[in-house]
Each structure stands twice: as C-alpha cells, then as structure tokens.
Chains A and B, each alone.
Chain A
Amino acid sequence: MSVAVQAQANSRLLLSGNDAVARGVWEAGARVCAAYPGTPSTEILETLAQFPDLYAEWSVNEKVAMEVAIGASMSGARAFCAMKHVGLNVASDAFMTQTLAGVVGGLVVAVADDVGLSSSQNEQDSRFWGRFAHVPVFEPGDSQEAYEMVKLAFDVSERFDTPVLLRLTTRVCHVKAVVTVGERHDVPIAGFTPDARRWVMTPANARVRLPRQIEREERLAEESEASPWNRVDDGRDRRIGFVSSGPAAMHLRESFPEAPIFRLGFSYPLPVGRIREFAATVDRLVVVEETEPLVENALKAAGMQGIHGKDILPRLGELTPNVLIPAIRGLLGEPAPDPTTYPHVEPFPRPPTMCPACPHMGIYYTLHRLRRRVQIAGDIGCYTLGAGSPWNALDTTISMGASMGVALGMDKARSAETKDKAIVAVIGDSTFLHMGMQGLLDIVYNRGNVTALILDNRTTGMTGGQHHAGTGRDVRGGDAPRINFAKLVEALGVRPERIRTVNPYQLPVLFKALRDEIEQPEPSVIITDQPCVLSEFYAKQPSFRVAADACTGCGNCINVGCPAITVTRTAVKKRDGAADVDLKFVDIDAAMCTGCAMCVESCGPKAIVACEGAGR
C-alpha cells in the first residue's frame, strides 16, 4: 500500500507528484474519483483506490471518467478525475459544456502533459484548455505544490461554480519530493437538486449561462491577481526578470539563483496586472514556459513590449538547466561554458522490447509472414512495438481506437496498387473498449472489408497492468462483470462465422485463421485469448534451451522477436549460383524464458527443446 495512504497527518514523506495529488484529493474530502490509465497520470487513481473511504473506478475511457465526476459533482459530492493530456481531448465534449453548467460539489480535473514525450504520441500543451473552456488552471512545480494546489482547487471550484484544471507534467507526476501531509476533511454529500435550467443544456438554457461564464471569468481574474500562488521569488540580479511556472520554474531557480522570478501557480486567468508591476522592477522580461508560447503571447497581446521567450528558447521538450543556461547567458551576452568534462557516448540504442513470452509476438510474427499482402492499421498500447524490429508489421498509429476508422478509410481509398491488399486493424482489449468499438460498428454499418485483430491480453498493459471491463476485476482487484468480446463484436454486427478466438502461441493455427479471414469479402474479427505475461493470469512454464548441435542458424526464431533469444554466433553460408546466406546461431536465456513455446513452433529443425528435468 502506498505510504501516501497510510501516513498520519503531519508526516514528512517522499511522494511522487501523482501520490501527492491523490493524498490531497482524499484530504479535500473527495467522494468520487474516476480515471482511465495514461502515462504519466496513471498512479493518481491507483493510489486513490487504496483509500477505503471514497469511491474510485477505472472508467472505460476519459470521457466517461469525466462524466462520472460530473454526475457526482451535480449530486453535491466533491469529485475528481485524472487523465493524460490526450485523454482530455477525448473527455473535452463533456468538459466544454460542464464549464457552462458549473458544479455543486467541487470538481477537479487533473491533466498530465508528457513534456519531452516519454510515452505519448504528441506533446500538446493542456494549459490552453483554461482559456478555451473558461476555467481556472493550477500549475504545480513539485509534489508539495501539487498536494496543496489540488486541495485549493476544490475550494476555488465551489466558490466560483466551475470545474478546475490541475495541470501536471511528467516532471511533477514522476518526481518524488518531500511532502508534509495533513488530514482528511469530511465534506458531506449535499444530494442532487433537479434544476432543468441548469442541468439540461438546451440552447435556451445554455444561452442564459453564457453571460454568467463571462462574469465568472472576470471574478477569477481578480482572484488570480490576488492569489498567493502567483508570487515573486526575488533575487538581486535585476538584469532579467523571469515569468515561469511548473517544473520549468524549478529548473530556472536552479540555473539562476539570484534572478527574480514571477512564479505562476494560478496561471489562468493570467495575472497580467501583477506581471506588469513585476516587469517594472527588472531590466527586461523573459518568459520561460515549456512547449507553447502561451503566456508570452498573452503578455504581448496585453501590450507589453520587449518580452523575450521563444525567440531564445525551444518550443519543444523540457527547459532543463542545460537548455536554459546557454540561452539566457546568450541574451546577457555572457559566455556559457559547457559544464561537461567527459564526452557523451552513445554505444548503441536500447529500444523497448516486448517481454519474453508476450502473446503479441505471435500476432506480429504471423503478420510479418503475410506482410506483402496486408496493410496494417495499428493502435495505442504495447503492441505499437510491432512497428519495430524484427516484425515491421504496423503501418499507422494515431490515437486510441483509431485503428478501426483508419482501416475503414484505407479500405475506401484503394489505389490500383493497393486494391488487392487486405486491410488489417490491430487493437488491444482495453483500447478496443476505450474507443475501438465505435469504429468497428462503423466498419460493419458501412460495409467495410477489414480484418480486426483484438489482442485480448486481459489487462491495460502499457501503463503497467490496470483492470478494465474485460478483465473480470475492478480497480481494487475484486470480482467484477467481464465483457465477452466475441458476443460484443457479434452484437456490433460482425457475422458469427467471421468471429474467431485463437491462441496466439499456436502459430500455425493463427496463421491459417488470419490467412483465411483476410480473404473474406466482409468484416472479420480474430480475438486472441492469452494473458499478458506480467498479469496475475499468466502461468509460467519451465524454460526451453537450444540444442546447439541441432541449430542450423536459419534465424527463423529470431523473427518471433523474443528478447530471451540471443544470437551467439554468426556465419556466412556460400551457395553455388545463389546469394550468400547469413546464419545466426542462437541460445535462450533460461533466466528470461517462461516457457511459452512460441519459438518452438517457429523452429524447423526442432532445435529448441525442454531444459533437462523440466518435467514436460
């Protein structure tokens, strides 16, 4: 159990930003919390679910999580939802209207941006939602601030009748820092009061709310101007005054200990008046903000002159000291010697691999063999790795669930060269339930010809193994209703004859199923049914070894892609009248192998055998 859950009030703890947010949400008296997993936000809900005195759930997607939180807030409970940056795109339909309707119980939305792209498909800047949705934005820079700000966010939400955004980044979520925690406040649930003019957002009712939203934003601007979270960390060197927020402000303080910094914590509405006063106390103003020039442009639009920002700083990635120091020293006309003494060496890349025995490898091994005949639309999850070596069996990845719609679009836009290609969509179980179902329904309804592969490994793998509606477990690990994928896709209109469930470790069976289905002139679904090797449902088997005298060096097993298979020796086989053949002799790392036997299926000369005494 997380120390954030166990700790008594006034304890001094080392907490990640995510754990600190969870603790703050609990202390604030939240009763209903919902999320869909997404790096770097996932652990917030994982920790919240460990508190016994609140309701927590893994929702089917971020929009549903948002709606669950909205319903609880309407019912007078303090409510919270968390998601990664791209998750708020999904949830934004509900969000953009609820900002008009307002709240009863405080409603706080944590959104985590992946600045630096550690595990995401884009680097969008969620601060823009503040202005877009007319809601206040809080931007903590570390765990202690995240903990304090999320509590304040609930108060601001209720006082101003608005959802509040807590904008985190990877360097808040996944940095551990010291936090002194407090105790939970009991906030009773007020109950739902029907009020159609407020909760039924017809045009007539919404129109009445619009002026209130504008008036609310004016009051929020006054609150932001007065907020102690917008403050000057003073310094003696007045040649440059900085405006900054979040982790960038921490990097800045580290880099320029004597510089005055206007630190934005309550960053939307922007306290332009206070920043203007600050600017008058320094020689020039530099805005240090990660990714987009949002504050910089707002200050320029407010008529402030001579502001620096993205003219000297990058628009992508983190603004760490090694980025900031040369840029700022350059502006001052000072030398910025490289602090490194030793060279940077990149011996070889170490890209992520699939885990030994991962059932996804069977799919990509098979797709690789059919590569010339198929176009493959992929999706978001561990199985996106199928685009890489040795499979090279994925052509697109866009967003959650996109494999289905993209595949249909490809089917409807065939050229003379691609008219005979089979279109395959590959999607995981959690991603299919998140946003893939609608796309498959569209394929059926619009008579598309797509073979959809649902890789059901009974977990949300990429984010570390969270439960979902298809695992049979709830967020706390208890029994839960489990969706039946075969029945689900049949209900979406796929004919029962075209729905197959296969074991992805049985390569010949999988190959035959896939080859047959891609030739059908209608939608097909192949569901794989073996669990993630990191999940509670996976049972390890005794490991295999390579009989060295039997290995012919054909390298076929390497195409399975299992990291437990290593090449021990290479050779070149000369052939009369034909090209040379590269031979790769292999071994299996017994410490990594969990005995899935997929490689055994791939080995022609039967050189992969059970370890002695393995009891097979």
Chain B
Amino acid sequence: MNTVDVITNILICGTGGQGVMTAAEILAQTAVAKGWDVKKSEVAGMAQRGGVVTSHVRFGRKVHSPVITPGTADVLVAFEVAEGLRAIDYLRPGGIAMVNTIRLVPPIVSTGQFRYPDDPVAQMRAAGVAVVDFDAGAIARGLGDLRLINTVMLGAIADRLPFPAEELEDQIVGRFREHKPAMVAVNQRAFAAGRDAAASGKRARTMMAAEA
C-alpha cells in the first residue's frame, strides 16, 4: 500500500507560547505541498493564558475527521514532558513519543496544590511507551536561540514521517528564505541537531535493551 493511503496521525502537545501551533502548521503545509489531503485541529481556547495546547495533524489521500482518536496516533510530539505523559493514551501500539524534557511547572503546582510527577519519562516507559527524550531547549540554546526548539522538535520526528526529511526541512527553511535569510542556516543546523538527537536517543535505547 502506498504511504498516502494510510492516514498519518501526529499529535503535538505542549503549553501556550511554546510553538505547538507553528510546528503543526509546518507539518500540515508539508503534506499540502505533496498534494495530500490534510486536516489540522487546534485546541487553543484560553491557551495563551498558560493552559495546555494540543494540535492534531492528520494527512493522507482523504481525511474525514479532524481529530485523532485515542489509540491511533503514529507520533506524539511533546514540547513539555508532563504534557507528553498526559497524551500517551493517544499513541497506537508501536507509535513513538518524541519528548522534550523541559519541565514547565504551573503556579497550581508550585504553590503546592498539585504535584509534578518526579520522572514523567520513566512513567511513560513503565506504561510500555517507546520514548525518545532529549533536552531540545539545551540544543536550541547551544545554537544561540531558544526559539529554535520548534525546528529541533520537527527535526527529531523527520525520519518517522511518510515523506523524506528534506521535504519537511524545505518547508521550515522556506518560511525564512525570503524575509529572514540569516535564519536559514541556523534552522538547518537545528533541524539536523534534532534528527541526530532522535537517532542517538534511539541508539542509546537499543544498546540498553541489548545490555539488559
């Protein structure tokens, strides 16, 4: 079966202001550029005021429902680690969670009303989820601009999509080429760094499994 015949479901989650919407838009536009059908659902409501933000991106030959049904996401992209944990029930068996390890603690937690989980990634793994986790913020800072987290995260999932990574990269770079050409090279580096982080994360996991 051709890749386009199977609907690809990508769930992106995080908190308001992290760039979840932008990442979802870039993914969706990549699929549009291929001539595929795309639907992208946003739950933002009051998100700019610190709430949870999720975006459902679905593409293939023909997409009907704009929402991903729990248990059917191919890839979960978590911009924040506890938000990743909150969304694991969306993953299908064999799906993968790509997790930025940043912990964004809301006031409701810091004032002692609720607890932030000690190790959300461990909790995901304990539930059987395949997780690749890395500090996208550190990578972005290393490249000189925290706003590159978005591109790092997209790079991290680039090898798990039904189109070549280069098509996704073109879509990212295309947003800067005309108006901010200075941003092109650094975004390319961020994209490559995200791909590397995901690949080495997976290698580390495979080695651990082999040792065990």
Contact = CB atoms under 8 A, between A and B. Distances in A.
A355 B110 CA distance: 16
Contacts, number: 165
B46 A352 contact: yes
Interface residues of A, number: 56
Nearest to A582: B112
A351 interface: yes
A14 B38 contact: yes
Nearest to B55: A176
Nearest to A341: B93
B48 A175 contact: no
Given A174-B44, A176-B28, A350-B50, A339 B111 contact: no
B50 A563 contact: yes
A250 B41 contact: no
Interface in B64-103: 64-67, 69-72, 82-83, 85-86, 88-89, 91-93
B82 A171 contact: no
A176 B72 CA distance: 20
Interface stretch (A126-134, A279-287, A382-390): A382-390
Contact of B45 (A39, A350, A353, A561): A39
B143 interface: no
A12 B116 CA distance: 44
Interface in B19-61: 25, 28-29, 32, 35, 37-52
A347 B108 contact: no
Contact of B123 (A13, A345, A354): A345
A351 B32 contact: no
Nearest to A233: B64
A254 interface: yes
B71 A341 contact: yes
A348 B129 contact: no
A297 to B, nearest CB: 26
B174 interface: no
A350 to B, nearest CB: 5
B129 to A, nearest CB: 6
B105 interface: yes
B106 A567 contact: no
Given A350-B52, A355-B49, A563-B106, A344 B89 contact: yes
A584 B66 contact: no
A352 B51 contact: yes
Given A341-B71, A566-B105, A251 B65 contact: yes
Contacts of A322: 69-70
Interface in A349-397: 349-355, 382, 385, 389-390
Contacts of A561: 107
Nearest to A587: B110
A567 B38 contact: no
10 contacts: A14-B32, A142-B39, A174-B41, A247-B65, A254-B69, A255-B65, A320-B65, A342-B128, A343-B89, A350-B15
Interface of A: 12-14, 39, 118-119, 142, 171, 174-178, 247, 250-251, 253-255, 318, 320-322, 338-355, 382, 385, 389-390, 462, 464, 534, 558, 561, 563, 565-567, 570, 584
